Amino acid sequence: MKPLGPIPAGYAALGGVLAVDGTKVTELVEQAGSTPLFVYSSALIRARVASLRAAMPEQLALHYAVKANPFGPVIALLAELVDGFDIASGGELAMVQAAGIAPQRVSFAGPGKRDAEIEAAIAAGVTLNLESEGEASRALAIADRLGLTPRLAIRVNPEFDLKGSGMKMGGGAKPFGVDAARVPALAREVIAAGAEWRGFHIFAGSQALDAGAVIETQAQTLALAAQLARESGAALPHLNLGGGFGIPYFPGDLPIDVTRIGQALAKAFTSLPEELSQTRFCLELGRYLVGEAGVYLTRIVDRKESHGEVFLITDGGLHHQLAASGNFGTVVRRNYPVAIASRFDAPVAEEASVVGCLCTPLDRLADKGGFPRAEAGDLVAVFCAGAYGASASPSAFLGQGPAAELLI
């Protein structure tokens, strides 16, 4: 048998069935009317934000990266809990506007911003994190045409990356941000043009579980920000330190030690260089806030054997859970945390693979895992489904369509 990933804390059996916030998933499926279904726990999201607040320095703001999970009710819940929102498209801008989030709480990063997106952001009053000199020129020209003062920051491509991160967002040639050596000249240009200067965004990597690597990167980020502010000749009003906090998906993964990170950051804040003495700081987190609060539920429609192997065939699959299938950035496929939700406390009885309904061998949610014996009609739960699930998967593939979503 191949091991399954660790089931996050906060889930339990109720009458033998997986429960989310004290409600059986069988009841949640009945409430939604069908499977597949994403269920997000508001209690787990609230608890995660509260524990992170307790671990981090008081003066550190928390931002939510909308790309992790743009479900409207999740955004509305987090509007009560976090200080700011980071978006990556004009579509996400429309989402935060629909949620009534003040533009002063929003920043917009991402390469390839179209003129229409830049115009909408400037008109709304959100902060644009500039990714290139060309984007800066377009933003200034659009603001001039609109007769508005744009709120502009620069996304920096640092020389370092976040060691051990799942995705490296900095260091070397990257489509993200402006190479550090060119940042001071661009900052002076933006300030001279009359923009409202909003500082730097430095994001070196994501999905890291090593607290030491995050601490090292944050120290490098603070030093680089101070250097660039000094060379720019202007005070630094704001610094987005990025995020990078990962969650355990795979066998052997352990939770990141945020208390250790918070202690190191608090110590660093007590001896900031002069250039950062008046700077406001934030962390930008997505999956760490919502990833473990989500579970994907799919129903077994067939049980079959082939050459002695058991396959549990579901009505869901990679079109909703691309990452769990191993086709979203992982080099070697490993099993996510997966369980038979309708037999949640039953002992392991067999080796089986959980596969989806698509006509491709890539559609595999669990490979030769240990499960209780399951039959058609049973529910399968894929955990860590609160981030990069519904919106990061090809739901239109083979005409299958999206899964339902529910925040409880």
Active site residues: 359
CA angle 324, 326, 331 (to 5 degrees): 140
CA distance 383 to 344: 13
Beta bridge partners of 262: none
Strands 280-285, 60-65: pairing kind: parallel
Strands 106-108, 127-130: pairing kind: parallel
Pick from 371, 379, 382, 243: which is nearest to 323 by CA? Answer: 382
CA distance 65 to 47: 18
How far does CA 365 lie from the centroid of its chain? 20
How far does CA 218 lie from the centroid of its chain? 18
Residues 6+ apart with CB under 8 A from 267: none
Please spell the DSSP secondary structure of 368-399, one letter per residue: EEEE----TT-EEEE-S-SSSSGGGS-TTGGG
Residues 6+ apart with CB under 8 A from 40: 69, 71, 73, 74, 290, 293, 294, 386, 405, 406, 407, 408
